[in-house]
Structure 1
């Protein structure tokens, strides 16, 4: 433990020592309230550093590998514009969804050249965080840093202090968006620190679909941290997809923190495929009669470590939550699921169900799962279920009895297990992207893509 503590302190000191050089280049220097937010994040990070397994909610994830290298943000983004030419148009087209508005962030900075934001409906705002802090600071002040506090843990504190850009989205009352909004995060260089902050405000009686995609043109190591704060107004409907397909040597932290007003509906689909070490937080607070659905699929191969942490706070009566996460681990990969549902004393008539299902394809693969229910009300309906196991030999035998060889039978059952979550995607182009990621990660002999 003492060795880990020493590494953490050394890494923290190096980042903190570099901060005065970085700070003048960060957006929002003229906003006292933002400087206070950054100062709080810096203070928290200086005191605690990145999370360690000594913290209960990080007990299964050791991030000390991140601390062996000082990742550096891109400060002068204008001078790096030629790097955009290195992004192959066909590669970009494969990741930029058709029939959507697309905001592209390259190495932590907004790219107007690559983004597609034409013909937004009247009143809908989609812009870079840096631009919003210049043009609309009064709009942002009530929201930035309000869905999650810097003291949540070290990565949130780090993000609050270090973020270089991000996206601000506002959908006004009763607006129903005909197309999704995609935030496409791209890293193009080794050893880059890409730190972004997003604020999404969807007002009363709106319908919005948001997609966050994390990819890279490099196969090298880098650190990607992104925090998205969501505020869903009364009777709003927000569907949020996240596809994390980072470089296999990358480190990733992504957090989505949601405040739901009365009768608001929030659905989140999390697909965690990439990164050497990756963590995803999804936390939401439910008001009276609001609903949330959290779905997730995490696929680990080689020595990947994929950590998923969810927290559903039922604060008022008549809330409904549903959660289903599935994991498939092969080789020496390790998966983590920590799901926590908290039912407050005032949250009577809460209806909550949580399920986590895991499939191990190798004797060396591992899954740690920890579902938690904290119930302080007496008139509720709550439950959870967890399984960790290997393929059912009876199902394999059944397929073999139908003239399917054993290897193909195993592949078919593995794919069917994962594909249940992929089939929940309602956007065809995104469905095809995610399906492609599933197929390239596991041997699929005997499965023809044309069938799917």
Structure 2
């Protein structure tokens, strides 16, 4: 715990507070104050905390990032931004942690669907504002750890997406977070609500120009009975940036949740994905993290089986080169009442350098006696027999190794069912590793 850093942020909070959304709402002001007290007392997470034992955020503590106070959208390279936006998707853009209406593309969004900035949602019509009060802070408590408390107190904006019961979205919704200023912190809070029998595909994209900055984003997700949500996260921050992104999910009975997490950028990046499962609900977590140079990428998941007959599947893969470090902590908890649970977890890591490191910690906590649960972990280098096999087919050694590396990673890329997103993720994968002998059309 670095209380000096916490004190510096706390000292500046009074100057920032009047610019934060919802300051006229007593319930939100009280929530922010409690979160601020929590952060002031404990600061950012420490490796002394079990769930942060492999990730030291002292590099963040040595800096003092400042939020963007401007309520107008700063200049953005339109060509670069267009390269981040997906075709055939509704796109909502936040720049430096604040919503930009002029850069967003929402034409044709069904009238029944509510999609707006968090600042607008807090002051919207009586039909919308109560949704925020009802759901904010219900999927995750600010006391979970320091970054949650920090986000709860400091969030400058965010998004509300409400898909009403029975609504099936014809196109994906992209929530595009971009940072353009150095030493900026982008603290956003997003709420996604998918009503009963509704279906939606949502893509969270995090990108930024080549600067040092901090992203601290929290997304709370609520999936009602028999609803279906597929949520993609593509994190390709600047190689100098720091990233914390938390996704916290509440699933109703028979609800289906699929999450694809692609952690590709950032100097130090941490992702939390936590979900609470109701009776007969289904959850699928897929992840790919790629580390080069001195990147540190931490993926933390927790699946809570709370009721019977729920099914969860999880597979995370990591590719690490140079002096990169990858962390995977996967935890499945089966409650006493969660009989007939079916859960499988797998983590596989490929090390391309003797200096790369993978720390993996799968956990099963089972309190029921009629379940089917299992997990598996591998950490290693390329299979030399596979390399030799390709060489025997007249492929040189370097190309053979590149082909095997891309095949390992591409298994997760191929799970993407949105073509424009698939192509962008594949492009990012190709940027991070040697391409000699690799044709994009092969993958």
Please state how far the C-alpha of 1:90 moved relative to its aligned partner: 2.1
Q: Deviations over 1:3-27 (max 9, x none)?
A: xx4xx12111100111111111100
Q: Which residue of 1 aligns with 2:215?
A: 224
What is the DSSP-based 3-state SS (H/G/I as helix, E as strand, rest coil) of the residue aligned with 1:27?
coil
Q: Which residue of 2 aligns with 1:190?
A: 182
Q: Which residue of 2 aligns with 1:326?
A: 317
Distance (Å, rounded) in 2 between the aligned partners of 1:312 and 1:33: 30
Distance (Å, rounded) in 2 between the aligned partners of 1:357 and 1:69: 34
Give matches, 1:32-431, under 5 Å: 32-78=26-72, 81=73, 83-84=74-75, 87-135=76-124, 136-216=128-208, 218-431=209-422
Q: Does 1:31 align with 2:20?
A: no
Distance (Å, rounded) in 1 between the aligned partners of 2:408 and 2:401: 11
Distance (Å, rounded) in 1 between the aligned partners of 2:71 and 2:356: 41
Please state how far the C-alpha of 1:89 moved relative to its aligned partner: 2.3
What is the DSSP-based 3-state SS (H/G/I as helix, E as strand, rest coil) of the residue aligned with 1:150?
coil
Please state how far the C-alpha of 1:396 moved relative to its aligned partner: 0.3
Please state how far the C-alpha of 1:292 moved relative to its aligned partner: 0.3
Distance (Å, rounded) in 2 between the aligned partners of 1:290 and 1:359: 32
Please state how far the C-alpha of 1:121 moved relative to its aligned partner: 1.1
Residue number among 7, 13, 27 corresponding to 1:13 in the alignment: 7
The number of residues matched between the two structures is 440
Q: Deviations over 1:114-164 (max 9, x none)?
A: 001122113100000000001032121110010000000000000000000
Q: Deviations over 1:275-294 (max 9, x none)?
A: 00000000000000000000
Distance (Å, rounded) in 2 between the aligned partners of 1:43 and 1:131: 26
What is the DSSP-based 3-state SS (H/G/I as helix, E as strand, rest coil) of the residue aligned with 1:114?
strand
What is the DSSP-based 3-state SS (H/G/I as helix, E as strand, rest coil) of the residue aligned with 2:407?
helix
Distance (Å, rounded) in 1 between the aligned partners of 2:154 and 2:84: 27
Please state how far the C-alpha of 1:93 moved relative to its aligned partner: 1.6
What is the DSSP-based 3-state SS (H/G/I as helix, E as strand, rest coil) of the residue aligned with 2:122?
helix
Distance (Å, rounded) in 2 between the aligned partners of 1:451 and 1:373: 38
What is the DSSP-based 3-state SS (H/G/I as helix, E as strand, rest coil) of the residue aligned with 2:3?
helix
Please state how far the C-alpha of 1:368 moved relative to its aligned partner: 0.3
Q: Deviations over 1:98-122 (max 9, x none)?
A: 1111110000000001001122113
Please state how far the C-alpha of 1:60 moved relative to its aligned partner: 0.2
Distance (Å, rounded) in 1 between the aligned partners of 2:130 and 2:388: 64
Q: Report the aligned-residue RMSD.
A: 0.7
What is the DSSP-based 3-state SS (H/G/I as helix, E as strand, rest coil) of the residue aligned with 1:142?
helix
Moved over 3 A (4+): none
Distance (Å, rounded) in 2 between the aligned partners of 1:275 and 1:76: 25
Distance (Å, rounded) in 2 between the aligned partners of 1:446 and 1:389: 23
- TM-score, structure 2 as length reference: 0.98
* Contiguous gaps of at least 5 residues in structure 1: none
Please state how far the C-alpha of 1:76 moved relative to its aligned partner: 2.2
